[in-house]
Chain A
């Protein structure tokens, strides 16, 4: 008899084990199918909901694919000029030291035009949290080469692959800022498998909790896919990411508090 439960008997509110967090608005996400941005948004909002910090959180949205993050996250948000999110977050945090302040940025925003703001905010040790989604490409503008593009990787502006002789080397900004004394917790995660999603969520929880200690900047990089920029299906792009991105951008904690 137990094996013949009907849908109605199983799908009751008390049996619900997972649902979309209420801190994401009803607006459909503007991301391409399979993009890791959606998962990253959801994880951050889930953690904020679980910690009951909705009223005490201020987020700073970047320029790039995630420019509309303020439409999707049902918390107080501020939109910053391209790359200037850490500077805006610095001002917000200094005015409201009791609030949880975070920025959500992509690699074109954080590691290209915003390198100056990122490095100086990290070096000053501002008590903010930066969520950095790295997909190695400028996704929103049509898949141009970014500072984080891998050597040999084909993009719209490097159609024969990135040549490090003329186009320079990829920037490992996460390792770079981990060396600065102002950062407290630096980690690199991904969100393409259930196990990685769980690990990334734990890292996001830590990055939020550590901000209460006022010990410095907390930085979570999320290596993600850009299937439309890489010209692959979502599943192919995740496989390509495992084979090519992870050897260059190895996952794990880079700087952990002693």
Chain B
């Protein structure tokens, strides 16, 4: 079992749906939403709870739309 648990929070209005974050996520947590933001982009969203808070997605996000949280499990 993973010893850390992460969550991402996507600023859906800032996200431009470029999809760079999805392939760098080793846990396969990120996919594009079926919904659109006000600019018409399909924004990134997390689809499962496997996130480890590795911040890879946030590093490659050109628009800085992803905030990452991480907690250690005891």
> Could you mark each residue 188-231 of chain A with 1 if its beta carbon is under 8 Å from any beta carbon of chain B, else 0?
00011110011000000000000000000000000000000000
For the complex, give the distance between the alpha carbons of A155 and B58 in Å.
31
Measured between beta carbons, the chain A residues less than 8 angstroms from B67 are 16, 18-20
Q: Which residues of chain A in 217-248 are interfacial with respect to chain B, using CB atoms and an 8 Å cutoff?
A: 233-235, 238
Q: Are A42 and B18 in contact (CB under 8 A)?
A: no
**A193 CB contact (under 8 Å) in B41, B58, B60, B66:** B60
Q: Indicate if the CB atoms of B53 and A17 lie closer than 8 Å.
A: yes
Q: How far is the CB of B29 from chain A (nearest CB, A)?
A: 13
| A198 touches which of B23, B41, B59 (Cβ 8 Å) | B59
Q: How many positions in chain A have a CB within 8 Å of any CB in the partner chain?
A: 38
Residue of A nearest to B70 (CB): A17
Given contact pairs A33-B41, A34-B18, A194 touches B69 in the complex (Cβ within 8 A): no
10 extra interface residue pairs, beta carbon distance < 8 Å, beyond A15-B69, A38-B63? A3-B5, A15-B71, A16-B68, A19-B67, A24-B64, A28-B13, A32-B16, A39-B59, A39-B60, A194-B60
- Interface positions, chain B 38-54, Cβ under 8 Å from A, are 41, 53
Q: Does A11 contact B (CB under 8 A)?
A: yes
* Nearest-CB residue, chain B, relative to A40: B62
What residues on B are CB-neighbors of A17 within 8 Å?
6, 53, 55, 68-70
Contact with A along B31-43 (1 / 0, CB 8 A): 0000000000100
Whether the Cβ atoms of A39 and B70 lie closer than 8 Å is no
Cβ distance A68 to chain B, nearest Cβ, rounded Å: 14
Q: Which of B1, B18, B59, B62 contacts A194 (CB 8 A)?
A: B59
- A106 close to B (CB within 8 Å): no
5 A-B contact pairs sorted by A residue (CB < 8 Å)? A3-B1, A36-B62, A42-B64, A235-B20, A238-B20
With known contacts A33-B41, A34-B19, A34-B20, A20–B60 Cβ distance under 8 A: no
B24 adjacent to A2 (CB under 8 Å): no
In the bound assembly, the distance between CA atoms of A17 and B5 in angstroms comes to 12
Tell me the complex Cα distance, A193–B14, Å.
Answer: 20
Chain A min CB distance to B57 (Å): 8
Is A37 among interface residues, defined by CB-CB distance under 8 A? yes
Given A2-B73, A11-B69, A38-B64, residue A18 in contact with residue B19 (CB < 8 A): no
Check A197/B71 contact, CB under 8 A, given A18-B55, A33-B41. no
Q: How many Å lie between the Cα of A24 and that of B23 in the bound state?
A: 26
